[in-house]
Amino acid sequence: MLRESSKRNGSLDSLNLQGAVGPEADSGVPHGDLLTAFAEAAVRRTDALPGLRERIAAELGVQELVDAAGVVANFQRMVRIADGCGIPLDELTRDATDDVRDELGLHEYASAANTA
């Protein structure tokens, strides 16, 4: 979805998917470092969370912060539906993303076993 949406808005060339899975790389998405740090702090419950809220509110805007919180909340749900039901990847997604999943090390996740 990240790759597709970057393709649609013309920013695919600057996208680095490694930045989506870990903090070591720059994703190339504007303010991506701040947004992923917020997501990580919210999921991991770190002490950085209050400061990151303030930074997003100041640097992007308060509505952007609420938007980001909504996405975090949505995916805290979606991952539990996916892995709580052991769903396999949809065929189209599997074929279209196999190389990227390999590159990002996603096949190491235990839930990869749900996709034959």
Please select the residue that binds other proteins; options are 46, 51, 58, 90, rule is CB under 8 A. 90
Token pair 């396999």 is found at 88
Nearest to 106 by CA among 72, 74, 82: 82
**Are the C-beta atoms of 76 and 48 separated by less than 8 Å?**
no
Minimum distance, C-beta of residue 49 to other proteins, in the bound complex (Å):
8
Minimum distance, C-beta of residue 37 to other proteins, in the bound complex (Å):
9
Please select the residue that binds other proteins; options are 13, 24, 85, 99, rule is CB under 8 A. 85
Token pair 């899975």 is found at 21
Please select the residue that binds other proteins; options are 13, 95, 99, 110, rule is CB under 8 A. 110
Phi, psi angle pair for 22, to nearest 5°: -155, 165
Near other proteins in 19-78, by CB under 8 A: 19-22, 27, 29-32, 35-36, 38-40, 42-45, 49-50, 53, 60-78
Please select the residue that binds other proteins; options are 8, 47, 95, 99, rule is CB under 8 A. 8
Q: Which amino acid is at 59?
A: E
Minimum distance, C-beta of residue 40 to other proteins, in the bound complex (Å):
6
Minimum distance, C-beta of residue 99 to other proteins, in the bound complex (Å):
15
CA distances to 38, 52, 110, 112 from 105, in Å: 22, 28, 11, 10
